[in-house]
Copies of this chain bind each other. A is one copy, B any other.
Amino acid sequence: MSAKILLLPGDGIGPEVVEQAAAVLRRAADRFAIDIELSEADLGGIAIDRHGDAYPPATQQAAREADAVLMGSVGGPKWDGLPAPDRPEKGLLRIRADLDLFGNLRPALLYPQLAAASSLKAELVAGLDIMIVRELTGGIYFGEPRGIHRLENGEREGYNTYRYSEREIERIARLAFDTARRRDNRVCSVDKANVLEVTMLWREVVERVASEYSDVELSHMYVDNAAMQLVREPKQFDVIVTGNLFGDILSDTAAMLTGSIGMLPSASLDANSKGLYEPVHGSAPDIAGQGKANPLATILSVAMLLRYSLGRSEAADAIETAVSAVLDRGLRTGDIASPGGVVVTTQQMGEAVVESI
């Protein structure tokens, strides 16, 4: 039976980078005799334009039937005027919830070839390799009640609810501990348990799950301190596990430490290793359609897809090795270029990776 892969190119540079990543996927599938079937659907702004819905029924059906989803990026100034519930980003939040993709893995990895790109001093980030495990379908992103209402005194008030149940915390904690076992066996759980009750429960449940993983070292950090420690001494971390909102903030901080956010992939997994894979970077509307975008984050997302959803790590390794090889050859898109380097187009970069596999 062939594995069904759904492509969601999305907006901005999404279609360009997904095109290259799909070519890499096809090449890896050929080379490692993986039976795949690709299809495509609309998500985000393009889906609003074509179907009046950021996550239209046809996309929903295709996403539910797929074994894995490869996404580009969604959003752009064109849709910024829309009310929030109708915006492209809502399509992304809806597909995460619909597919129950609670486990978001965001590696922050510094490629030695790109060490100079970091805004941090080289010795602080050389060899950086953090994995952020972010809960993706709960917390304040989805908590009810929420809205804007009028108070008795006539003024308006906005409100959101930050919730986590034991079960939600347990499953993301397990994912973090399992992930740490394949790495350096250390988990740092980030919360604000000195102020927020919901994160007191978080801490308690993470401790309980930790007792099943006596080979993994667990530490706790308040979110303000974690943000500081990421800037001060990022290499102290192995796996960081945290809720949806803190994970949003900390994973972007960690990504930026590498100085090359155009290189970073991500995976969002359900309980059965079905996943949605996407680059960490956004839709970059300012350079869309110009062949300037870096396809490597999406290409590396294909590697994650092969590893986590299809269980084909030899193919994942081959893609990662190929990416490293093209970097070694000095190929760079504009975002990671250094003085005197060769700047290539999105397509040239994609083709170079295909050839290296």
Q: Which residues of A contact B (CB under 8 A)?
A: 84, 87, 89, 93, 119-121, 124, 140-141, 143, 146-148, 151, 155-167, 192-202, 223-225, 227-228, 231-233, 245, 248-253, 255-257, 259, 261
Contacts and interface: CB of A to CB of B under 8 A. Distances in A.
Given A84-B200, A158-B198, A160-B161, 6 more contacts: A84-B197, A141-B195, A158-B196, A227-B253, A228-B252, A231-B256
A101 to B, nearest CB: 16
A58 to B, nearest CB: 24
B158 A199 contact: yes
Contacts of A251: 224
Contacts of A84: 193-195, 197, 200
B252 A160 contact: no
A335 to B, nearest CB: 12
Contact of A160 (B121, B162, B227): B162
A164 B250 CA distance: 24
A199 B84 CA distance: 11
A97 B227 CA distance: 25
Contacts of A157: 163-166, 201
Contacts of A252: 224-225, 227-228
**A interface, by DSSP: helix, strand, loop or mixed?**
helix
A248 B224 contact: yes
Given A195-B141, A228-B255, A231-B256, A165 B161 contact: no
Contact of A155 (B165, B192, B198): B165
A148 B200 contact: yes
Contacts of A224: 248-249, 251-252
Given A119-B120, A252-B224, A195 B93 contact: yes
Contact of A159 (B156, B162, B166, B253): B162
18 contacts: A84-B193, A84-B200, A121-B121, A141-B195, A157-B163, A157-B164, A157-B166, A158-B164, A158-B202, A192-B245, A192-B248, A223-B248, A224-B249, A227-B227, A227-B252, A227-B256, A228-B255, A231-B256
- Most central of A141, A161, A231, A257 by chain B CB within 10 Å: A231
Contacts of A223: 248-249
A158 B163 contact: yes
A194 B156 contact: no
Contacts of A197: 84, 146-148, 158-160
A43 B276 CA distance: 50
Contacts of A158: 163-164, 196-202
A342 B91 CA distance: 58
A260 to B, nearest CB: 11
